[in-house]
Structure formats: C-alpha cells, structure tokens
C-alpha cells in the first residue's frame, strides 16, 4: 500500500506542470519573443514556474475538498489571464496592463474587432484546465490529494523561492537594470514571465497613484531647465504666417506612410493625398509615438507635446490632471475649439478628458444622423461624417480650431462593396488585404471634404493639418508586409513603418517635402508658431519643425529612437542608409536624451506637475474648466 502511494503524483504538481508547459508553448507559438541565446531560452522556460508553484502551493494548506475547488478556480483564472494577453497581442503586439483593463467603457464598442481576433482553436488555450478537471472527475489512480506536513510545505516553498532567485539572477545577468526598463514589456515578459510581469505592473500602478499624492512641484525645475535648453526659436519666415486663420486638424485613422505614392493592383492607394501633399508642407520622416492608448494617445501627444504613458491610456489614467493643451490655449486666445467624432462620447473617456484639454464643444454621436445604411465597422462612415460635419463647421464662431477623428480605416478594416474604389490586396494576411480598400475610401472621403470646404468658403481662410494617428498593420503581419514592400521586415524596417503622414496646408503657400526626423510630439509647437504664438514659456518636449537649427531626433514610446543617420531599436543601432546594424557607439550620444524625455514626461503626467507650473507672465494655470456643451 505504501508503494502505491509513493507512485502517485499530487494534483498540485499536475496543475503546476500542465500550466507551466502550456505557458511555455504559448510563449513560443503566440508571442513573438526574440531569443538570442540558450540562456535566454532557459530563462523563458523557467520564468512561469516560481509563480505557478507559489500560487498552486497555497492549496497545500487546505483540506482535500477545498484544495480541489482552489486548484480548478486558480487554473482557470490564470489560463484566462494568459489567453487575454494572447488576444490582445494578436493586434497590438503588446501585453495587457492594469490601466488597459480599467478601460471598460471601450469594451462595448469593440464588437467586430474582438470577433475578428477570436478563433475556434482558442479552446486549446484551456486544454490544461480541461485535462485537470477531467482527471479530478474520473479520479485517476496515479493522482491524489494529500495532507502536507509543515516540513513538506516548508521545503516546497524554499524550493519555490530558490527557483525565483535563480530566475531573477539569470535575468539580471542577461539584462542589467531590468526592472527600470518598464517601457519594454516584451523584455519583462521574456525575463520574469507573464504572471510576474502582471504583479510588477500592479506595483507600478500603485506607484503611479502615489506619485501625484506626494508631488509638491519641486521636480519641475529640472524638467523646465531641460525644456528651456532644448527650445528652438521659430523660423522668422514661418512664424505667424497663419495668424488668425481657422485650424482644421484631421486624425487619419490607422494610416501609415507606406501607402503614400504606392499602388495596389496597378491603382493608386491615396490618389488625393498624393496630389494634396504637392500643394502642402509634407513631412515624410514623421513618426507616431503612441503607446497602448492608440488614437487617444495620438490626440494627447499632438495637443500637449507630452509623451503618452508606457502603460494604459492617459485619457483614462490621468484625465483629471491639469494641462495646457492646444485647444485650451487657443480658447483663451479668442478661438472657438471643438472636436468632432461620430462615436460614443465616453469612448476613450473623451467626454471627461476633453474638459481637461479645454475644448469648448465635443460633437459626438448624438450630433450626427447615424443609421444602418451609413455605418460600417466601428460606426459612421467617413464620407457622411465629413459631409454632416460641414454644417457644424459653418455654425462655429471664427476663428475656430476643429479636430476631426476619422473611423472607417480601423481594424478589422471592413467596407461595403459599394464603397470600394480598389480591390483588396492578395497575400496571406486578410488584415493587410482589406487595409488598402479602407485607406482608399478614407482618401476619397478627404477629397470630398476638401471640395466641400471650398464650396462653403472655408478653405481659403483655414490651415488644414493631416496626421496619421498610429499604425494600422501590426508586426504580426510582417510576412505579408515584406511581400508588399519587396523586402524583409527587420526591426529596422519595422521602426521605419511607424512613419505616418503629416501634412500642413497653408493657403497661398507653395508645397514642399521636408525630410526632417520628427514626430507627433512636434505638432503643438509647430502649429502654435504658425498661428503666431510663441511656446517658449510652456513646458513641452517637441520643437518647431520649421526651426532652422532643430535637432533631427524623435523617440518612440517603446524607447526606440531615430536620428538623422541612425535608428536605435531593440538594443541595436542601425545605419539608416543601409538598414544594417552598425557600431552601437554611434547611437550612444542620444540614449540619455531618449531616456530623459520619456522619464521627464512621465513625471509630469504622473505627478500632475503642470498644476504647479508658473508661467513667465505671472499667470498660473488654474486648470478650471467649464462643462462641454
């Protein structure tokens, strides 16, 4: 009888082993985690073990009935967390954070996007749970529940701790200062594991909340000094050239720069934009800098010249902060400011955040006629959206600042047959195939909108600014993208694909392509200088794109950065001319600047430091806002 017992394996061990192996398989099949050595592979293998042993080991303190219930519930919850990361990663190439999970008001609008990401084979992500429950139900002879002695429990948890220290020790030798590189979630998951990463994320969330409570404004001096040292004097030729004109700012949903002047099936993808940029200032080395907040992040960067946070969306996590955003500044200087977006006003928490940004009016879903005929995918099609918005523009007090957020070119890139101006691409990626027709539709909608502005007499007295908000095609489609581009999508090429269109049309100005390295962070100072407002006294991290002595440099939210001659991403320095790795010393001079910009911006947001900011003319930013109409 004693021999029989020794041959049995505990359900605690079974649950741990099943979930451990499944997690490692998921790492290898569902996440694109780069492995460069046997040590990294070994770390990836063992990093889930400490957490799983600890969590399942807590059942050792319970009686058999409670042990059984605890193991089943815990196994299911952990599997669900892992699966949620898989689904999120399929589109965003990123891992979940607590702030993202808090964005529950967005869930009701996700609809077709989530449906597109789910597959019948996803049931396999719960196969270990199914096996565990089946074993318990059938009471297999080789498995059992047992009562553990104090010595057994002590030995078990000492072994668990030893594995944890082994994991951390190896990770630290592989990646020194690992836990300070919080912007690189893939690095964290690769070294400490998905589950430990979520625990660390919870710690960061509590730290972020504490930062505001403890901030007293003393941190500002270093940040202000950094801004003043990097401030670039505006161009004498361009400063105030658009003074008093209306501003029409258009966010181009999911539009990347690689579609400009390109064809699919022999037809232009963006025929209108291709022509429009010839009559405008076009910045072809302009990068999006968004994080997990995607479109809302792009709004935040463009209007504040601050970086988004590396976790979640600022629109959710810090909507109560005080900002001196472009709409607030212009509203205080005689402009009527409005945002127009035919979606639920609470999506991305816009109804709350827009008050902090200083908008006078938010035209949302109730301000549009929306029905089944004029909607697709996420909502109102771009053509009726622009057409209906004309009436809103005509009713605005002049001058106005009006931001339009387009919607049709949104994942999963659905489009009615009658709205297709080009046929889908043919590759192994349905997402990429359908992307081109929706980009083409958006281009046609823009063409019609610009024509309507001319007909209503709004065109000649307005500057029109177009910008891509974030990528549309994630790295999960690199194979198909490589086929379209005719070259392999390396980390260097992937960074280059983060370029988005940025176009400024000023009436009476001759078109010009400007190839200066830039990003969304530069929009606010550039725009305000064109309108005749100097931004020297306002804390920001961007620079005027027309300034003659500006540094060609931009940093992405993941810590990658681009200079005139180099790209630094995934700890590799690339030569922009060849696209090949080069001596890392060539990127070293910019590493500290990239780190400082992200950290200073994070401190400003997490500490709500702008509430302490004293402007040179003696006016304090009170942050008092009136309710949106």
Domain endpoint, select from 514, 546, 578:
546
pLDDT at 614: 67
Compute the distance between CA of residue 302 and CA of residue 338 in angstroms, rounded to an integer.
15
Question: Is 53 part of a structural domain of the chain?
Answer: yes
* Enzyme catalytic residues: 295
pLDDT at 348: 81
pTM given for the model: 0.77
**Beta strand pairing call for 9-10 and 143-144:** parallel
Residue among 54, 52, 61 nearest 18 (CA): 52
Instruction: Tell me the three state secondary structure of residue 569.
Output: strand
Question: Is 567 part of a structural domain of the chain?
Answer: no
Residue among 495, 475, 522 nearest 576 (CA): 495
Identify whether residues 166 and 302 lie together within a single domain.
Answer: no
- Segment 102-127, tens digit of pLDDT: 555 554 555 555 656 677 888 899 99
- Assign residue 608 a region (left: φ > 0; alpha: ψ between -120 and 50; beta: otherwise): left
How many domains, in total, are found in the chain?
2
Identify whether residues 241 and 193 lie together within a single domain.
Answer: no
Identify whether residues 203 and 245 lie together within a single domain.
Answer: no
Give the domain range for residue 293: 237-546
Domain endpoint, select from 546, 564, 589:
546
Identify whether residues 370 and 335 lie together within a single domain.
Answer: yes
Burial of 622 (0-12, 13-18, 19+ CB in 10 A): exposed
- CA separation, residue 600 to residues 137, 514, 569 (Å): 56, 28, 20
Q: Which residues pair with 247 in a beta bridge?
A: 401, 463
pLDDT at 88: 80
- Segment 58-96, tens digit of pLDDT: 998 988 889 889 999 999 999 999 998 888 888 667 787
Identify whether residues 195 and 256 lie together within a single domain.
Answer: no
Which H helix or E strand runs over 430? helix 430-455
Give the CATH number for residue 445. Answer: 3.40.720.10
Q: Which residues pair with 246 in a beta bridge?
A: 462
Place of tokens 């594995």: 163
Identify whether residues 425 and 517 lie together within a single domain.
Answer: yes
Question: Is 583 part of a structural domain of the chain?
Answer: no
Place of tokens 């050792």: 60
Q: In this structure, are residues 523 and 467 in contact, taking their beta carbons and an 8 Å threshold?
A: yes
Identify whether residues 24 and 79 lie together within a single domain.
Answer: yes
Identify whether residues 444 and 341 lie together within a single domain.
Answer: yes
Between 270 and 87, name the one with better pLDDT.
Answer: 270
Identify whether residues 378 and 503 lie together within a single domain.
Answer: yes
Identify whether residues 311 and 197 lie together within a single domain.
Answer: no
Which H helix or E strand runs over 202? helix 194-214
Identify whether residues 118 and 260 lie together within a single domain.
Answer: no
Domain endpoint, select from 211, 246, 276:
211
Identify whether residues 419 and 488 lie together within a single domain.
Answer: yes
Burial track 19-55 (b if 16+ CB lie within 10 A, e otherwise): bbebbbebbeebbeeeeeeeebeebbbbbbbbbbbbb
Question: Is 70 part of a structural domain of the chain?
Answer: yes
Q: What is the mean pLDDT of residues 412-437?
A: 93
Question: Is 585 part of a structural domain of the chain?
Answer: no
DSSP per residue over 446-466, as a string? HHHHHHHHHHTT-STTEEEEE
pLDDT at 462: 97
Burial track 343-381 (b if 16+ CB lie within 10 A, e otherwise): bbbebbbbbbbbbbbbbbbbbbeebbebeeebbbbbbbb
């Amino acid at each position: 009888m004693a021999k029989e017992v020794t041959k049995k394996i505990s359900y605690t061990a079974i649950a741990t082993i099943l979930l451990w192996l499944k997690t490692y398989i998921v790492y290898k099949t569902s996440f694109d985690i780069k492995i460069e050595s046997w040590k990294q592979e070994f770390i990836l293998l063992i990093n889930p073990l400490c957490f799983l042993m600890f969590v399942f080991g807590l059942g050792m303190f319970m009686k058999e009935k409670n042990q059984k219930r605890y193991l089943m519930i815990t196994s299911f919850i952990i599997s669900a967390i892992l699966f949620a990361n898989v689904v999120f990663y399929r589109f965003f190439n990123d891992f979940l954070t607590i702030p993202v999970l808090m964005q529950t008001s967005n869930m009701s609008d996700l609809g077709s996007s989530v449906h597109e990401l789910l597959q019948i084979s996803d049931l396999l992500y719960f196969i270990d749970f199914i096996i565990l429950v089946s074993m318990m139900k059938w009471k297999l002879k080789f498995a059992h529940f047992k009562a553990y002695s104090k010595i057994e429990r002590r030995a078990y948890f000492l072994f668990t701790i030893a594995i944890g220290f082994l994991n951390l020790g190896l990770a630290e030798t592989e990646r020194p200062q690992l836990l300070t590189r919080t912007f690189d979630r893939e690095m964290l998951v690769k070294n400490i594991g998905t589950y430990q990463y979520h625990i660390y994320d919870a710690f960061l969330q509590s730290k972020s909340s504490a930062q505001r409570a403890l901030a007293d404004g003393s941190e500002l001096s270093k940040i202000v000094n950094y801004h003043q040292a990097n401030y670039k004097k505006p161009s004498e030729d361009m400063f105030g050239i658009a003074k008093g004109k209306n501003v029409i700012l258009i966010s181009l949903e999911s539009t990347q720069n690689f579609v400009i002047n390109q064809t699919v099936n022999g037809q232009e993808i963006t025929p209108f934009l291709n022509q429009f940029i010839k009559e405008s200032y076009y910045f072809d080395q302009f990068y999006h800098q968004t994080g997990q907040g995607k479109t809302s992040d792009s709004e935040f960067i463009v209007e504040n010249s601050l970086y988004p946070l590396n976790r979640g969306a600022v629109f959710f996590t810090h909507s109560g902060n005080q900002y001196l955003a472009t709409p607030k500044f212009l509203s205080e200087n005689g402009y009527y400011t409005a945002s127009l977006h035919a979606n639920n006003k609470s999506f991305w928490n816009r109804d709350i955040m827009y008050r902090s940004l200083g908008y006078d009016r938010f035209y949302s879903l109730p301000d549009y006629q929306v029905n089944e005929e004029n909607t697709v995918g996420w909502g109102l099609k771009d053509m009726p959206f622009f057409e209906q918005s004309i009436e809103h523009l005509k009713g605005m007090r002049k001058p106005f600042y009006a931001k339009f957020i387009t919607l049709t070119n949104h994942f999963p890139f659905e489009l009615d047959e009658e709205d297709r101006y080009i046929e889908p691409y043919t590759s192994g990626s349905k997402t990429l195939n359908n992307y081109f027709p929706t980009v083409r539709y958006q281009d046609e909608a823009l063409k019609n909108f610009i024509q309507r502005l001319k007909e209503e007499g709004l065109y000649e007295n307005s500057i029109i600014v177009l910008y891509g908000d974030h990528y549309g095609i994630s790295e999960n489609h690199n194979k198909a993208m490589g086929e379209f581009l005719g070259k392999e999508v390396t980390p260097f090429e992937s960074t280059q694909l983060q370029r988005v269109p940025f176009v400024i049309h000023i009436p009476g100005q001759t078109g010009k392509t400007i190839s200066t390295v830039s990003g969304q962070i530069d929009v606010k100072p550039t725009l305000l200088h064109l309108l005749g407002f100097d931004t020297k006294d306002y804390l920001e991290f961007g620079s005027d794109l027309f300034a003659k002595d500006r540094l060609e440099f931009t940093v992405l939210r993941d810590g990658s950065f681009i200079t005139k001659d180099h790209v630094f991403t995934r700890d590799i320095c690339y030569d922009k001319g060849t696209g090949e790795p080069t001596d890392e010393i060539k990127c070293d001079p910019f590493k500290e600047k990239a780190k400082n910009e992200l950290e200073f911006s994070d401190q400003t947001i997490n500490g709500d430091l702008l509430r302490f900011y004293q402007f040179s003319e003696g006016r304090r930013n009170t942050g008092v806002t009136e309710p949106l109409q």
